[in-house]
Structure 1
């Protein structure tokens, strides 16, 4: 299901956080939003998953204004994993994942066999079926992240929005999570799951994303395939670093080595 962000602007307390942002994420694609801290990545995503109403512009999911959808219909189309999420649930893993089924249930309805099957499939997909009876509070950071992704998958959305899904994970867990998400984008959802994610690590973005949008100062400054976007000139201008692109020996994806830009001599 296609996501269209059209001329999106957000103003808070007189400060313009996002200015005229336009981007598209299509079915079966993993689309990354990258940029420096404070550039507006999370603000854009909050508008997409309806945690924030924009000051101007529109977010469309499947052609409909996302803010015009009912809460139930919105949750059936789109699931989100925010950057900051309350994770101190006093529930078992199975109970946490079952929360993803609420948009598909009638009020006061009992969990059905279809709900239980959806939860089991979601836990299996993230490799966490063995954790079902564990207390969520006893899990490691990586295990918690996989369970939260399972909850989103159990929701059976057509669009998945992830804000820095690899934060606080070790490198093996980062690769696991992004491989999982990419697999779902090209997996068994008819037409493919649409994934829109903000990523801090440019090498992970280059390795796993089909398309990148670079945001700086609240505006999109570049977009396209990672190889075309992550150029030395753009990285120097936007991130203030000198980049040395290399080719990954196995995947062929562009990877980046960084060092500081030479400091300019001050006036004498």
Structure 2
């Protein structure tokens, strides 16, 4: 399923957080949003998963405006993992994952054998099957993140929106989660903080600064030393991964400029 964000603008309390932003995620692609803190990435993603209504513009799934879909129909097509998730306290990990099946259930909310099988499989796919009976609030940050990703997978969406999905994960878990997301066959739009992870896993990158797209293309084309100096204020050295050939970055501070 293709995701199109068309000329989206977001104004909040007189401040323009997103300014006439347009991007596309083709069906089955993993598209990354990168940019400095406060650049508008999370604000844009909140519009995509309908936690925030844009001031102008449209967001479409295979040409259908999201605003025309009911909450249930939207949730059958698109799942999201925000930076901060609340409301799961008091539930077990298995119960949290089962919430992903709600859009597919009848008004009675009865859980079927198929629902249970899908939830069990989702927990296993993210390496969290052993957490099923644990209370969600007792889990570590990384464990919670894996459970929430399992919930999104159990929802069986066509589009997955992720806001910093590797937060709280150790290095091995970061690599495993992004590989899992990539292999799921979904259209994925993800805000990523780690540029090296973005370079390895994303098909296409959009660089956001000041609420606008300042560059887009493949990681190799986008992550240039010149752009990284302008947007992130760092000096970057590009190297090739010895096995995959993907561009990887080494960073240091920009030289101080003379007064």
2:186 to 178, 187, 193: 193
Correspondence list, 1:1-268, <5 A:
1-86=1-86, 89-184=89-184, 192-266=185-259
The residue aligned with 1:187 is none
Task: Supply the RMSD in Å over aligned alpha carbons.
Answer: 1.1
Deviation at 1:109, TM superposition (A): 3.4
Q: Deviations over 1:195-220 (max 9, x none)?
A: 10000111111011111000001100
Distance 1:132 1:12 in 2: 40
Residue ranges of structure 1 left out of the alignment (5+ in a row): 185-191
Tell me the equivalent position of 1:188.
none
- Following TM superposition, by how much is the alpha carbon of 1:138 offset from its aligned partner in structure 2, in angstroms? 2.4
Residue deviations 1:89-143 (CA, integer Å, cap 9, x gap): 2111111110000001111232111111111121121122222122222222211
Q: In 2, Cα distance between the equivalents of 1:18 and 1:246?
A: 33
Q: Which runs of 4+ in 1 moved over 6 A?
A: none
CA gap 1:256/1:87 in 2 versus in 1, 3 angstroms: farther
Q: In 1, are the aligned partners of 2:102 and 2:109 still within 8 Å (CA)?
A: no
Deviations 1:147-170 (A, max 9, x none): 100101111100000000111222
For residues 126 and 154 of structure 1, the distance between their equivalents in structure 2, rounded to whole angstroms, comes to: 11
**Aligned pairs, how many?**
259
- Distance in 1 of aligned mates of 2:167 and 2:122: 21
**TM-score of the superposition, structure 2-length normalised?**
0.97
* Shift of residue 88, structure 1, vs aligned partner: 5.1
- Cα distance, 1:87 vs. partner? 6.4
For 1:168 and 1:147, the matched residues in 2 are separated by 13
